[in-house]
Structure 1
Amino acid sequence: MESAIGVLVSQFKAFAGSDGSSDTLSRDEFQNLVKTQLPNFVKNADDPAVIDRLMDSIDENNDGELNFLEFWQLIGRLANQHGGFIQ
């Protein structure tokens, strides 16, 4: 599990850092991450409306960006769904 956490943190920082700040994901960075890293877990990631709805659902402070804790909410949701813990 430690290596999985390491990968999640490094991927977040890599995608977040594409615009200069590795602390938050902009909408475009988030869409790029979802399209390339989660193509089988997030359907229609090319659709801007899908990305907007997904981002809005986890952007707790409504600042238009995702910090790591907000991003972690998505990872938790996807893991729950993948593991069959959510019906």
Structure 2
Amino acid sequence: MEDAINTLVSQFKTYAGKDGSSSTLSKEEFHSLVISQLPNFVKNTSDPAAIDQLMGSLDENNDGELTFLEFWQLIGKLAGKQGGFSQ
């Protein structure tokens, strides 16, 4: 599990650092990460409205960017669904 955590943190930082702040994902960075790293887990990645809706559901403080903790919500939901833990 340690390798998985290290990979998640590393990938977040890689994508977050592309357009400025390495501690948050912009909409473009988030979209790029989802397309590249989660193509089989996130549906409708080619639909900008779907990405906006997904990001909006994660962006708790509505600042237009995702912190790692906000992003982590998505990972938890996807892992829960993949493991059959979602309701």
Q: TM-score, normalised by structure 1?
A: 0.97
- The aligned counterpart of 2:18 is 18
CA distance in 2, matches of 1:52, 1:20: 20
- The aligned counterpart of 1:64 is 64
Structure 1: 5+ residue stretches without partners? none
CA distance in 1, matches of 2:36, 2:47: 14
Letter in 2 for 1:68: F
CA distance in 1, matches of 2:53, 2:81: 18
Shift of 1:69: 0.2
Q: How many percent identity over aligned positions?
A: 71
- The aligned counterpart of 1:51 is 51
Letter in 1 for 2:64: G
Shift of 1:26: 0.2
Letter in 1 for 2:23: D
Q: TM-score, normalised by structure 2?
A: 0.97
Shift of 1:20: 2.0
Shift of 1:21: 1.2
